[in-house]
Amino acid sequence: MSATTKKENQRIPNLVIIWLDPTCNDHNEFKRYYFNNPLVEPESWLYFDNHEHCADYIKGSPRKKIFLIVTGRFGEEMIPELHNLIQLHSVYIYCKNITKNKQWSLNFDKITDVYNDPIKLLVQFQNDIVEYGLRFQKILRINDDDNDPKVNHFSQPNKNWCPWKSNSCTKNLTLKGQGTIEIIQLMPVPFELLLTNTENSNSNDNDDFFGILLIVNDQKVTISKIINDETTLLQESIDDDGVLDTQSNGEEIPYNIYWFSLDSNNLFVKYGTGEIRHHCRVIECYFNENDQKNLKQIKYMHIKLNNNINLNELKYLQSKIKVYIGTEPVVDDPPLLILSETQFTTVEDIVNPRGIPASVLAEPCRILYSYISNFKLNNDDFPQFINAIEQSIQNSNGLCYKKLHEKANRFGKPNLKATYLRITLGKNIGNAPGIPYVLEVWPAGHYSPIHNHGNSYGIIRILYNEILISLYQSLNIKNQKPFIKRLLHENESTWMLPKLNQTHQVSNVSDRCCITLQCYQYGKEDTKHYEYFDYINNDGKSINHFNPISDMDYMEFRDAIKREWTEKSMETL
């Protein structure tokens, strides 16, 4: 591939840079620079000296992503009308009177800042274009669902940021005043996150400094508010669930997750560990309305590791710390049930939904659900299939009875109750941990160990009776308390994503057997394909790896159960 072709492949489609200023010639310098920028097409640069013509172009370009440099006078007149257009990505006010234009610009989140220095404007503009280009290329490379407005990501951060690669401990938030930050640690490291309204993290250097400071170490967690040089402690916690986990890292627990979420609209910050969801919060701080204006101006994140911001000295942590940033705050917990669109018929279904439609789930879940949503066990060929399975469980000579007893020590210390049958449908085609479609048979009173699912997507459908699903923050020997328990009934379905609903325990608390259909699939973004389900051993003291092998093929199982049923029926004649 030629250098020219490589350069063209890097360019961002539909990107438009607009300079609107009838009196300034600085746009020529900018234009000259961007003709040599590999991310920008030469045709992407537009110049306007008439604000009405410029506004008409922006309103008539819904498929573009527009970066607008505009004077203070034109900006104050145009931005209120254009601000909410999806095609307007960022606005830069270039003027002489910073103080005057700062006042009105604070009301519009897409305005990055007000500038009177062309060098500062160029540097910020350049950084934003590069960041957008990298984000766009990553979206194309990793997850097509990120561009699908129908898909609900349930507040999961999906943009990786590496301080070492950016050579900075400071990062712009994508949206002012809201977002969620996830820190994944492969070794325990005390850390601080400071969210501020200024790029400079030193409150002593700013007259209008506002910040929210999270400090996490092995003793406690604190959240504080900083206004100029005054720091106010909001909340602290010494609970084991929230402090830095210094004991469980290693071979058994490959990582720990800590997260911090900001929501200026609902006036809160939340800190949690494990899965990023409302139920896994450890600290929740609410602010009064007097703080809302300051919260909405927060646009920078500063990270400190081991009380240090010298990235050269912290180089040894580069492979041990992963940071992800998302635009959505953690507000509520997502419903566990999947409902059909026809079940959303009232305002209550929208405001306080019992479930979610499959159409808003990520593509792997949508595909899996479409395959199993109408699956039936009993049919005209074998209408007694379910009764025959129950009989096989109860009969000491039955296939199910024997296989369950063979598996009594499958998860460590012998325990018949901690067994179930895995009847697989189809073959292992390499897109899931084991064979992707599994019929699971749960005798009365039986349960699984606490386990996860290899960061796969998944759907669970209840084919017969009911099952209790217990969800956990993470697979952690120190914390085996579920944060949600939900009884799922016949014909109901639930879902899992790589970072949501991943760790659970399944229990049959009824007096009859339960039969479920489970299916799994790796996402496009998964380049590791972890082949195991990890579980907490029956003794509750260790974590082991479970190879999700089959107890029997579905057609073989069905034929064997049918023969048993027929033979048993003949005996009663």
pLDDT at 141 over 70: no
pLDDT band at 570 (very low <50, low <70, confident <90, very high): confident
The pLDDT of residue 202 = 86
Where does a domain end: 139, 172, 191?
139
| 343 and 444 assigned to the same domain | yes
pLDDT digits (tens, 9 = 90+) for 432-465: 888 999 999 999 999 999 999 988 999 999 999 9
Asked whether residue 132 falls in the same domain as residue 187, the answer is no
Distance CA 97, CA 71 (A): 10
Full-prediction pTM beyond 0.75? Answer: no
Q: What pLDDT, on a 0 to 100 scale, did the predictor assign at position 249? A: 39
555 or 14, which is more confident: 555
Q: What does the pLDDT look like over 86-113, one tens digit per residue? A: 789 899 999 989 999 999 998 898 898 9
Distance of CA 468 to the CA centre of its chain: 25
Query: What does the longest C-alpha to C-alpha distance in the chain come to?
Result: 101
Note whether residue 209 is domain-resident. Answer: yes
Q: Return d(Cα 275, Cα 473) in angstroms, integer.
A: 5
Q: HSE-up of 53 (CA within 13 Å, CB side)?
A: 10
Nearest Cα neighbor of 71 from 41, 48, 53 is 48
Helix axis angle for 118-142 and 27-34, nearest 10°, is: 30
Whether residue 146 lies inside any domain: the answer is no
Does residue 395 register a pLDDT over 70? yes
**Spatial contact of 185 and 258, defined as CB atoms under 8 Å apart:** yes
For residue 65, name the pLDDT band (cuts at 50, 70, 90).
Answer: confident
Q: What is the CATH number of the domain that holds 84?
A: 3.40.50.2300
Which of the listed residues 111, 139, 167 is the one where a domain comes to its end? Answer: 139
Quote the domain boundaries for residue 285: 154-326
In a domain, 147, yes or no: no
- Give the whole-angstrom CA distance, residue 65 versus residue 87: 5
Judgement on whether residues 466 and 536 belong to the same structural domain of the protein? yes
Which residues have a Cβ under 8 Å from the Cβ of 566 and sit 6 or more positions away?
A: none
Give me the half-sphere count of Cα atoms (radius 13 Å) on the Cβ side of residue 165.
9
Please state the rounded mean pLDDT for residues 203-225: 91
The per-residue pLDDT for 270 is 98
Residue 411 is predicted with a pLDDT of: 87
CATH number at residue 488: 2.60.120.10
> pLDDT tens across 480-494, in order?
999 999 999 999 999
Do 367 and 308 belong together in one domain? no
Domain end marker among 292, 326, 360: 326
**pLDDT category of residue 34 using cuts at 50, 70 and 90:** low
With respect to residue 482, please indicate whether it lies within any of the assigned structural domains: yes
In a domain, 300, yes or no: yes
* Structure confidence at residue 150 (pLDDT): 67
**Which pLDDT value is given to residue 285?**
97
Same domain? 221 vs 299: yes
Identity (one letter) of the amino acid at 135? R
Residues 356 and 315 in one domain: no
Sheet hosting strand 466-471, strand order edge to edge: 484-489, 466-471, 504-507
What's the Cα-to-Cα distance from 93 to each of 17, 45, 52, 66, 79, rounded to whole Å?
14, 17, 17, 14, 10
- Residue 560 covered by a domain: yes
Are residue 247 and residue 199 in the same domain, yes or no? Answer: yes
Q: Count of domains in the chain? A: 3
Q: In this structure, are 399 and 537 located in the same domain?
A: yes
| Domain match, 91 and 161 both | no
Q: How is residue 369 written in tokens?
A: 């659900």
Look at residue 148 and tell me if it is in a domain: no
Among residues 244, 239, 193, which one has the least CA distance to residue 217?
Answer: 244
Same domain, 119 and 186: no
pLDDT by residue (tens digit) across 276-323? 999 999 999 999 999 999 999 999 999 999 999 999 999 999 988 999
Q: Which one, of 488, 493, 472, 491, lies nearest residue 536 by Cα?
A: 472
Mean pLDDT, rounded, of the chain: 87
Question: Is residue 296 assigned to a domain?
Answer: yes
Q: Which of 29-43, 365-379, 541-555 has the lowest mean pLDDT?
A: 29-43
**179 and 310: one domain?**
yes
- What gap in Å lies between CA 311 and CA 308, rounded to an integer? 8
Clarify whether residues 566 and 418 are in a common domain. Answer: yes
The mean-pLDDT minimum among 116-130, 238-252, 270-284 falls in: 238-252
- The first and second tokens of residue 110, run together, are 């897409």
